[in-house]
Structure 1
Amino acid sequence: MARCSLTARFAVAVFNVVVTVDPQAVLIGGSVSCEPALIPMIEDELNKNENWKDFKTDIKRCRYSANAGLIGAYYAWTTEAVAR
């Protein structure tokens, strides 16, 4: 039950961002994106919202998923080290 509730909350958050910002796509990253069923579950929840069809936007998994933070930190560190 908690999993469904969390997915529904995720879907509400995605919907609110899409309606407010109108992005070309929503990217899900971090360790949560490693769950292959997450995006289909969010899409199922979004499809229950009758207003979603007016704002439907692609939801994608980030390329580097759980490693994005490490890659970003490495990039920042190397950029800062080179700048000195």
Structure 2
Amino acid sequence: MAKVLLFGRLSDIAGWRERTLEPLPASLSALRAQLCAEDEALAEALSAPGVQVALDQAIVRGDAALTAGSEVAFLPAMSGG
């Protein structure tokens, strides 16, 4: 089981902020593919430049394996000034 969190406009687009996925996807790329297959608008938002992924509260780049109890957060690009 993995806990998935969406922040900012990503949660607005998907209509949820927190979700538990079971069975556990094997990797971040598999998780992202699953979410994208379920929601076309979310797929577009997740592929936008600047979207970051945190695995167990640490920003990761590239792919990583998921383990039971993993927490994955998708963070929208930051803006401001």
Tell me the TM-score normalized by structure 1: 0.31
Q: Which structure is higher in strand share? A: 2
Tell me the TM-score normalized by structure 2: 0.32
Q: Which structure is higher in helix share? A: 1
Q: Whose RCO is larger (CA < 8 A, sep 6+)?
A: 2
- The higher radius of gyration belongs to 1
